Amino acid sequence: MTNLKPADPAPAAEATVTAAPAAGPARSGWRSLLPTMTPWLAIGLVLVAGITLFGLLGPLLVGDPRQIRDQGLTPPSAEFWLGTTQTGQDVLAQLAYATRGSLQIGLLVGVLATALSAFFGIYGAYRGKFLDDAFSLFTNVFLVIPGLPLVIVISGFVPRESRGLWTIAVVLAVTGWAASARVLHAQTLSVRQRDYVAASQVSGERPWRVIVVEILPNLLPVIASQFVFAVIAAILGEAGLSYIGLGASNSATLGTMLFYAQNGFALSLGAWWWFVPPGLMIALFGMGLSLVNFSIDEVINPKLKNLRQHRKRARRALRLERELARRSTQETDR
- Structural domains of the chain in order of their starting residue, each with its CATH number: 43-63+83-299 (1.10.3720.10)
Phi and psi at residue 90, to the nearest 5°? -70, 120
Question: Residues 297-313: what's their mean pLDDT?
Answer: 66
- For the chain, the first-to-last Cα distance in angstroms comes to 10
Residue 289, judged by CB atoms within 10 A of its CB (0-12, 13-18, 19+), counts as buried
pLDDT at 117 exceeding the cut of 90: yes
DSSP state of 2: T
The rounded distance, in Å, linking the Cα atoms of 83 and 64 is 14
Q: How high is the pLDDT of residue 16? A: 41
Distance CA 81, CA 16 (A): 58
What are residue 61's phi and psi, to 5 degrees? -110, -10
Q: How far apart are CA 264 and CA 261, in angstroms?
A: 5
pLDDT value at residue 331? 78
Q: DSSP states of 28-94 as a string?
A: -GGGGGSPPP-HHHHHHHHHHHHHHHHHHHHHHHS--TT---S-TTPPS-SSSTT-B-TT--BHHHH
Which one has a higher pLDDT value, 42 or 32?
42
Confidence of residue 13 (pLDDT cuts 50, 70, 90): very low
Residue 305's pLDDT band, with cuts at 50, 70 and 90, is low
